[in-house]
Structure 1
C-alpha cells in the first residue's frame, strides 16, 4: 500500500528534515527495569546475534558450521522479516517495531522527506528505542560490529572527514561504513579512550599481494576478527555481554574492489583456482548447485496478476505490476547463485570462530535482514516482495537450555528485541510490537505466533540506493507498496497500485501453499473461503496498528 501518514507523522517528517545529524532523543521512556541488573557476579547469559545480509534460504545447506547450529539448536522454519529491504528491516529488528512505527520506510531519504535510512531512524527517535539501550541500562556490556544502517556515513566538514554521530546504547561501537558492500576498501568506527567516535581506514591490498593478505582485509574476515577480540575481552567479565555481528555478505557489491570482481565477491580462498577448480561451496560441490534449487525460478507470471475487489464483493482483473523485461539469463543467475554460495563460506567460518570463543552461558542467534530473489517469479534479481524468497530468513539459536529441533511457531524479526530482553530478565516496553519467543527455546511446542505480517513502501530509486541490484537486473521501484499476512495455509497481499503518498488503488493477491512458492493468485476463487476471510480480517487490522494490537494479531 501507499502509506497514508497521519497529520502528526507527516508534520514530524517535515519538521525533522534539518535535524538528521543532530543529537539523539533519550527515547527509552517506559523501558523495562532489570530484575537482576548489574549485580556482582551477574549470572545472566551472554548473547551474540549474527545478522547476515541478503541471505537466501538455499545457501544455508552449504554451510557446515551453520548446519552444526541447526543440529544442536532451535531452528525456526517459519521465520520472516517484516520488510524485505535492508534498512527498514534492520530498524525494525533494533526496535521491535514495524516500519509504520519506526518511520524508516526506505533505504534513502526519497527526496526532501526523511523517510528512509539513518536520517529517518534519528528523526523518529529510534536510537533510544533500541533493545541495546535496555540491555546496557540493566548492566550488559553491549557491542556492535559491522553493517548498521544505510546513510550512516562519514561526512566532509570544511575539507576534513568527520566520523558519523555516536549511537547510544552501545559500549563498543565498530560500525563498518558503506564501503563494506564492495568487500574491500572501507572505513570502520571505534570509540577512543575518551568515548569519542573515530574512524579507521581499511585499504584495498594490491592484487599482487598474497591471497591470505587480500583475504585478511575482506570485510567479513575483518568483522570476524573484531568479533573475536570483543568476545575474548569480555567473556570473563563479571557483567554479561551482548554482541551484534552484522556482515555485509552476501550482499552484492556496489563498486568493484578489484578488476574482474564478480557481482557477489567471495573471499579469494573460496574462488576457483588451481587445485580448487570450481571454488569452495562448503558442504556441496559448486557444480552440483542448480537453478532448480531456487524454488519458483522462472515460474510464468501470467497467473500472478493482482485482483480488484469491488464494494459489491465481486472481483475484477487488475493490471500486473510485474512488468519488468526479463534480462537475467539462466547462465548469469546460476553464476550469481554459485558465487553467493562461495561468499557465505567466510560467514560460516565466522560462525565457527565465534562459537569456539564463547562460553557455555551464551546464546548465539543466526539470522538475516532479508532474502533475495534471483529469477524467481521472473523478477530478475532483488528483494522487497512479500514472497517466500524475499521474506523468509533462517533463524537458528544455540545456548543454555535450548532444546534441539525444528520449530513451527511463526517468528518475525520484530520478535528478536523482546526475546533478548526476556533472556536478560527484563520486561519489554509497551512500544515493542513484537513478542518474545523465549519459551520456545526450551519447549519446542510452546505457544507462539501463528501469523506473520509484512509491509513495504514503494520508493523511487534515488542516489545512494544500495538495493537497486542493477547488476542482476533488479529494480527497487518495481515493487508497489503493500501490507501482507501469512499463515500456515496461505499468503494474502494488499498491493497499492497508486504510487503517490496519499492516493490508494488497492489490488489483491492470495496464494495457497500447495507448492513451496507463490505460483498462482487464487484470490478470485478463494477470497470467500474461511482461511482467506481470516487472513483478510487480520490484514485489515494490521494496517497502522498500535503495538499492543500488532502483538495480539500474530497469535
Structure 2
C-alpha cells in the first residue's frame, strides 16, 4: 500500500495522532528501490516527508537558466504569483518560519538596530518566535526535523570570557546544522551541530589554500558543503519509521561580504562554473549561453524614475506631488550590472546541482518545495543594487512543488511566504494554530483551480545600515538604505504602496504610489489619476486594515 495522500492525512489529523499513540496506524508497503539501498522497513507513520529548499537573494531571471529547477517547474505545481511579505532577508525568513507578518514577529530589520532589538535573531528570540516556528508543531507531532544552511542574521558565534562559543540552541529542530555568517564568502566558515546529548557544538570548514586545485576548493564551497550535509541527512533518515521535514537554506545567490580569494567576484560561483580568465562570455550558465544574457532580461532596467515619485492624498480627494525618495546617485554601470548578472547565473548552477542531488535521494512520497527569501534589483528602477522595495524585482520569488498527488502545471493563486507554515502543517495532518497569519495553499497542489489568495501584502521598515548589515552590496551600488518604510498590497490589476517619508520611527508622512500591470514592471505612478477608481479604493482599504492587523484579519484580507 502506498503512503496515503496529504488530503486524507489532513482531514483526520487528530485520529492520525491517536493512531500513532495506540500503534494502530496502517503501515505502507516497501518503498521504491533506490540506486544505493533498498528500504527494508515499513513506516509506522504514513505521513509524507517534506524538503524545503530556500535560496537567498534569488531573482526570477535566474530561474530560466537552471535545468533541475526547470524540471521541477515542469513536473510540479509552479506558482506564477508567489511573493514574500518583506523583501529583506531576516524579516522574510522570520515570517516564513512563523507564518506571521513582520509587525507580528517583531523582526523588522536585519540587525538589532537599538535596544530593545527590532531586527536580527535578537528580535526573533525576544518576541517568542522560536516556539512559533512550524518546525515546533511538526516535531511535536512526530516529525524528525532538520535544518541545514543559513538561518537568521546575527545568529552567530559569541565570545564569552575570551572563548568563542556557539550561538543559542534553537527549539523545534532535531538536527541543527546552521552555517554561520562566514558562509556569505563562499569559503572558510563555521557550522553548528548537536552532539549525542543535544549540546550545541561548532564545526570549522577551513578554506582551501589559494594554490589548491579548483576541485579541492569546490569541495569546500558553501553550497556544495550544504548539499553534502543535506544528502547525509536524507540517507540517515530515509529508513526511519517516522517522517522527516528538512529545510535546506543556501547562501547563494547572495553577494559575498569579504573576498575569500584575491580577485573573487562580488557573486562568487563554484570554480567549475566560472569562465576561463579573459573570456568574458564563457562559463557555465546552465540552459543558456553566458554570452546571450543581456540587461534586457532585467525587466525595468534603467527605467526613468521621473514619473515614480509618490503622491500625497489631501482631504477631499485632492492630490499633490510628494518628494521623491529614489534620489540615490546612479553609480552602477551597464558593464558592472551585466557582469554581476552573469556571475549570479553561474553562482546558482551549484544550487541547481543541489536540487538534483536532493531529488535523487528522496522517495516518491516526498514533497520538495523550492523558493527564495527575496529577490533583488540590479539597476531596475535606477536603484543600483539591493532589495527591500515592494517592486516585482524584489518581492516576486519562485515557488515550485513536486510530490505525491501534485498535479503538474502553472497556478495563478496569489501566495505569500507567510502561507508556507500553514501549508506544511496541513501536509503533515496538523491544524494550524490561530496565530498564523498565512493560509495553506495545499489544496491547490492537487487541484490547480482551487480557491486561493487574490491579494498579497508587503511591509518594510526603513533602517540605517549598521555594523554586521549584510545587504547593502557596495559593489553594486548599495541602494537598500534609501528605501522608506511602507505597507503595500498587490492584486492582478496593480500594486498600491503607502510609503512613509518620515524616517523617524515615531512619526508618519504618508504618500502613495500606484502601478497598473499594463507592463511587467512598475513603470509609472498613476495614483493621481486613478486613486478614486473602485478597485484602487478597495486596495487602499485593505492596506489600512492590514496596518497592525491581527492574524484572523490578515488572513481574511488576502481573499
1:452 equivalent in alignment to 2:484 = no
What displacement does 1:531 show?
A: 1.3
Which residue in 1 is equivalent to 2:73? 70
Q: 2:498 aligns with which of 494, 497, 502?
A: 494
Equivalence for 1:15: none
Instruction: Give the CA deviation at 1:287.
Output: 0.4
SS at match of 1:410: strand
1:527 aligns with 2:507: no
For residues 47 and 501 of structure 2, the distance between their equivalents in structure 1, rounded to whole angstroms, comes to 49
1:35 & 1:329 partners in 2: Cα distance? Answer: 61
The residue number in structure 1 matching 2:364 is: 360
**Residue 147 of structure 2: SS of its match in structure 1?**
strand
Deviation at 1:35, TM superposition (A): 4.5
Contact 1:33/1:138, CA 8 A, preserved across alignment: no
1:140 is the counterpart of 2:143: yes
Output aligned runs, 1:461-540, within 5 Å. 461-540=465-544
| 1:284-433 paired onto structure 2 within 5 Å | 284-433=288-437
Per-residue deviation, residues 72-122 of structure 1 (Å, max 9, x unmatched): 000000000000000000000000000000000000011233000000000
> Does 2:215 match 1:212?
yes
Q: Name 1:44's counterpart in structure 2.
A: 47
Aligned residue number for residue 38 of structure 2: none
Structure 1 spans left out of the alignment, 5+ residues: 1-31
Structure 1 residue 183, shift from structure 2 partner:
0.4
Q: Does 1:156 align with 2:156?
A: no
Residue 250 of structure 1 aligns to a residue in which SS?
coil
Q: Structure 1 residues 412 and 35 mapped into 2: Cα distance closer, same or farther (>3 Å)?
A: farther
Aligned to 2:287: 283
Equivalent of 2:258 in 255, 258, 274: 255
Contact 1:459 1:476 in 2 (8 A): no
Is the CA contact (8 Å cut-off) linking 1:35 and 1:426 kept in structure 2? Answer: no
Q: Which runs of 4+ in 1 moved over 3 A?
A: 32-35, 37-40, 274-277
> Aligned-pair distance for 1:470?
1.3
**Are 1:546 and 2:550 an aligned pair?**
yes
> 1:131 aligned to 128, 131, 134, which one?
134
Matched residue, 2:32: none
Which of 171, 175, 180 is the matching residue for 2:178?
A: 175
Moved more, 524-533 or 334-343: 524-533
Between 1:529-538 and 1:351-360, the stretch displaced more is 529-538
Q: Would the aligned equivalents of 1:49 and 1:244 in 2 still touch at CA under 8 Å?
A: yes
Q: Counterparts in 2 of 1:30-109, with a 5 A limit?
A: 35-37=15-17, 38=20, 41-109=44-112
- Report the counterpart of residue 28 of structure 2 in structure 1: none
8 Å CA contact 1:34–1:138 kept in 2: the answer is no
The residue number in structure 1 matching 2:204 is: 201
User: In structure 1, what is the Cα distance between the partners aligned to 2:67 and 2:14?
Assistant: 37
Secondary structure of the structure 2 residue equivalent to 1:498 = coil
CA contact (8 A) 1:35 1:425 kept: no
Given that residues 146 and 248 in structure 1 are in contact (C-alpha distance below 8 angstroms), is that contact kept between their aligned partners in structure 2? yes
**TM-score, normalised to structure 2's length?**
0.93
How many matched pairs?
A: 524
Shift of 1:534: 1.2
Q: Distance in 1 between matches of 2:502 and 2:418?
A: 28
SS in 1 for 2:414: strand
**What TM-score do the two structures reach when normalised by structure 1?**
0.93
Following the alignment from structure 1 to structure 2, what is the Cα–Cα distance between the partners of residues 493 and 113?
28
Is the CA contact (8 Å cut-off) linking 1:143 and 1:172 kept in structure 2? yes
CA deviation after TM superposition for structure 1 residue 312, in Å? 1.8
Q: Partner of 1:29 in structure 2?
A: none
Deviation at 1:437, TM superposition (A): 0.2
Counterpart-to-counterpart distance in 2, 1:524 and 1:35? 56
The DSSP-based 3-state class of the residue aligned with 1:467 is coil
